[in-house]
Structure 1
């Protein structure tokens, strides 16, 4: 089943929310859920479909609550810190899903949203996993040893996400790199654009001007 409302001209689904919840900073679960509701309402409610889909994929997966928390914290650079707020990762996703479901029901009360079946292209999954492995040492260094916002376990959590859903795993990888402003080469950037194209993502999803690209960096 094709994912609905994929080309919105912005980052989509959970990774879009991760980007938006940082600016302006919000503190507290109630304020965070207000951002979720505002995001779900974007594009006349179309964004809610993709956000719900991403949440259901992770909730139906074997990823632990800690995995989900780590992926969220990496992408947000701890701007909305689930760990500090004491919010369980899976509980947070369920609350996001409830908001999205309510928004979808405003347009179609009879609809029962469900996760679209994930069709995994083995070659694409291997390409995403390879990119995680390639940039993994730099990402682990940037996250685990950050002076102010250290975070362990990002790379293993990304591997697990990519195994479940390469599309979401790839978008979460990009958000982690952007969140911690990890330097990447122009060659890597071009590979990300090509891989995004294979995944059916618009260029605006891959490159939202948040990358830290170094022209003299070599892979």
Structure 2
């Protein structure tokens, strides 16, 4: 599957869906799938291609359902709570992938989903893993110790995702930091912009005005 256009002016793929499914919150699987259908149809179906790619990357990976749950819940701040709804993380991604494939077949009836090979250079992947490591303590505290919406294992799951696909791992890191409104420094914010550029992401993917940037914070 070819990489789709990555400069749509919004967050893309799975990280984009995670953002959009939160506002307004949805409280059933059926309502969640309606949001997926709406997202898949954006930009004349180009959003569906990227979203399907992200789903297939994780479905083809060794990440467990619990790890996928943690990534999803962190990004959504449990606004669409797979655990509460009793939806297995891998099952959910398969259903999202089916919706995307259906949308793509409207334009290409012969389309067959195939997991895309990842092609992020090793040094860039290491930079993503370094950012996960350095942001890890604050993110782990924000997620695991949250009074109302606790989640365990977010940082290890992010590392595993980034090892499989640094581009997706990076976008899921950003969504988790934004979802739990974790404070970051201006220096980290600038590093995120630079990393996004190295990954070929549009600036709107990295900075959608959801960050909690502190000018006097050092991290």
How many aligned positions are there?
Answer: 219
CA contact (8 A) 1:5 1:49 kept: no
- Other structure's SS at 2:152 match: coil
Any idea what the Cα deviations from partners look like across 1:71-95, whole Å, max 9, x if unmatched?
Answer: 0000000000000000000000000
Partner of 1:167: 167
Partner of 1:209: 209
Partner of 1:15: 15
Which stretches of structure 1, 4 residues or longer, exceed 4 Å deviation after superposition? none
- Other structure's SS at 1:213 match: strand
Partner of 1:99: 99
Shift of the alpha carbon at 1:144? 0.5
What TM-score does the superposition give when structure 1 sets the normalisation length?
0.98
CA contact (8 A) 1:184 1:213 kept: yes
Matches within 5 A, 1:98-177: 98-177=98-177
- Other structure's SS at 1:26 match: coil
Shift of the alpha carbon at 1:115? 1.9
Partner of 1:191: 191
Runs of 5+ unmatched residues, structure 2: none
CA contact (8 A) 2:120 2:199 kept: no
Partner of 1:25: 25
What TM-score does the superposition give when structure 2 sets the normalisation length?
0.98
Shift of the alpha carbon at 1:2? 5.1
